[in-house]
Amino acid sequence: MLRLIFLGTLVLVGILSGQRFARASEDNVVHIVSWGGKFQSDLMSSWVAPAAKRSGLILQTDSWDGDYGALTRRVSIGLNTWDLVHVESYYVMTPGHDQLFRSFPKRSLPTISATYLNDPLLVTILNEGYAAPVLEYAYIAATREDLLPQNAKQTSYGWKEFWDLKRLPGHRGLRDFPIGNLEAALVSLGHSPQSYLYDPTLAKDVIQHRVQEALDRLHELRGYIVWWKTGDQLEASLDSGDMVFAGAWSGRLLSVHRELCKTVTVAQCRLKTALDSALISTDWWVIPANTTRGEAADKLVKALFSREAVDGAKQFSERQGYTAPINDKISADPVAQFYLNAGSSGNTQAVARIDERFWSANFDWINEEWQSWRLANQ
């Protein structure tokens, strides 16, 4: 009998030890989610996976479609299984974000770009500790100059020229999304997004009027707009010439340049990009509030901004054309560096930075207005 009790105790100890071992192993796992495709493949292989390995972390990866409403619901009711999620700028300060995301206010990111320490809004986001930057890019005006009338060519093609259908004919490509397009329309009218749209002292009825002003301006392009939803569509339409002008992601323009112009310099390429039309935006990492592995996710975030991770960040940036938010020159290739600079805070000619606080607070009702306008302007 004593022998059986002893054996039973050994079995129980073994089971409990196994549970502790499994738990310890799980604590080193980070379930990370980004946007899929070659983008995510490059992000993981170049930058994230090496940083995780150096930190003793095991990655589980998924991609998602950006259904922020579904993510909010999953976190709110405790069904979320993700530990680190790649989100766009307008979600990072979404109402109730302090309940949706874990906060790590003492997080140290030693290689982060100095820009993030000089911009008051970005400093606020970093100090709150609810998010860390993934990348920067621009929504920017681009032109196939070779498709314009010979007598209409000029030195720059910004948002004002984007609306000049008479002198600069041809289809205009725009992302089927309000963010970026409303700002571009207002800039084409001579307005600054910071003061004319983002000003936190503006009453809602004033904002509504200015959103409608932007939609009316976009209406002037009816019959000329090619709406794109994915970067692949954008690239294909610029490559083929279906778009003469485009509101484009700066990272995708690097791919178009490489396709159209190969190793030709930016100045000689038939694709032209207006640096002074750039609307800079930041994507962010967030850690959902109900994850049980928040410390591991935070450990990975900090590893991404270690000195050892810089080369991986640069490699990702050069492959994808999106600027890693590190305080270092990204590329020795002058063509890649041009597009990376165009879509970063280092672009001193940029017309504005898309404001996280404004869009997080106003996205839902503006998007409803956008969808109604789009339906009425098919």
- Residues 291, 251 share a domain: no
Q: Which pLDDT value is given to residue 332?
A: 81
Mean pLDDT value of segment 341-369:
96
Q: Which pLDDT value is given to residue 115?
A: 87
Query: Which residue, 295, 296, 329, is CA-closest to 310?
Result: 329
Q: Which pLDDT value is given to residue 222?
A: 94
- Residues 270, 141 share a domain: yes
- Residues 364, 222 share a domain: yes
Residue 2 above 80 pLDDT?
no
Q: 21 lies in a domain?
A: no
Residue 11 above 80 pLDDT?
no
Q: 5 lies in a domain?
A: no
Read out DSSP for 91-154? Answer: GTT-TTHHHHB---TT---TTB-GGGGTSHHHHHHHHHTSEEEEEEEEEEEEEEGGGS-GGG--
Q: Which pLDDT value is given to residue 331?
A: 83
Query: How open is the CA angle 359-62-354, to the nearest 5 degrees?
Result: 20
Q: 11 lies in a domain?
A: no
How far is Cα 348 from Cα 275, in angstroms, rounded to an integer? 9
Beta bridge partners of 121: none
Question: Given the structure tokens 């041809």, which residue do they identify?
Answer: 170
User: Residue 176 belongs to what domain range?
Assistant: 137-280+352-376
Q: 346 lies in a domain?
A: no
- Residues 53, 116 share a domain: yes
The widest CA-to-CA distance across the chain, in whole angstroms, is: 102
Residue 243 above 80 pLDDT?
yes
How far is Cα 137 from Cα 321, in angstroms, rounded to an integer? 8
Q: What is the pLDDT of residues 83-100, one digit of tens each?
A: 999 999 999 999 999 999
**CATH code of the domain containing 224:** 3.40.190.10
- Residues 304, 184 share a domain: no
Q: What is the pLDDT of residues 174-202, one digit of tens each?
A: 999 999 999 999 999 999 999 999 999 99
How far is Cα 223 from Cα 170, in angstroms, rounded to an integer? 10
Say which residue, 5 or 294, is predicted with more confidence: 294
Mean pLDDT value of segment 353-374:
97
Q: Which pLDDT value is given to residue 153?
A: 84
Q: Which pLDDT value is given to residue 136?
A: 96
Q: Which pLDDT value is given to residue 25?
A: 54
Mean pLDDT value of segment 103-117:
93
- Residues 117, 146 share a domain: no
- Residues 265, 142 share a domain: yes
Q: 3 lies in a domain?
A: no
Q: What is the pLDDT of residues 130-164, one digit of tens each?
A: 999 999 999 999 999 999 998 888 888 999 999 99
Burial tier of 155 (Cβ tally within 10 Å: 0-12, 13-18, 19+): exposed
Average pLDDT over the chain reads 92
- Residues 229, 125 share a domain: no
Q: Which pLDDT value is given to residue 57?
A: 98
Mean pLDDT value of segment 299-306:
98
Mean pLDDT value of segment 43-64:
98
Residue 23 above 50 pLDDT?
no
Mean pLDDT value of segment 56-67:
96
Mean pLDDT value of segment 95-114:
95
Q: Which pLDDT value is given to residue 79?
A: 93
Quick one: what percent of the chain has pLDDT higher than 90? 87
- Residues 122, 36 share a domain: yes
Q: 35 lies in a domain?
A: yes
Question: Given the structure tokens 């009825």, which residue do they identify?
Answer: 205
- Residues 318, 215 share a domain: no
Q: 76 lies in a domain?
A: yes
Mean pLDDT value of segment 240-252:
97
Q: Which pLDDT value is given to residue 280?
A: 97
Q: 16 lies in a domain?
A: no
- Residues 336, 364 share a domain: no
Assign 230 to helix, strand or coil: coil
DSSP state of 180: T
- Residues 266, 221 share a domain: yes
CB of 362 within 8 A of CB of 202? no
Question: Residue 263 contacts by C-beta under 8 Å, 6 or more apart in sequence?
Answer: 335
Tally of CB atoms within 10 A around 187: 24
| Total number of domains constituting the chain | 2
Q: Which pLDDT value is given to residue 378?
A: 76
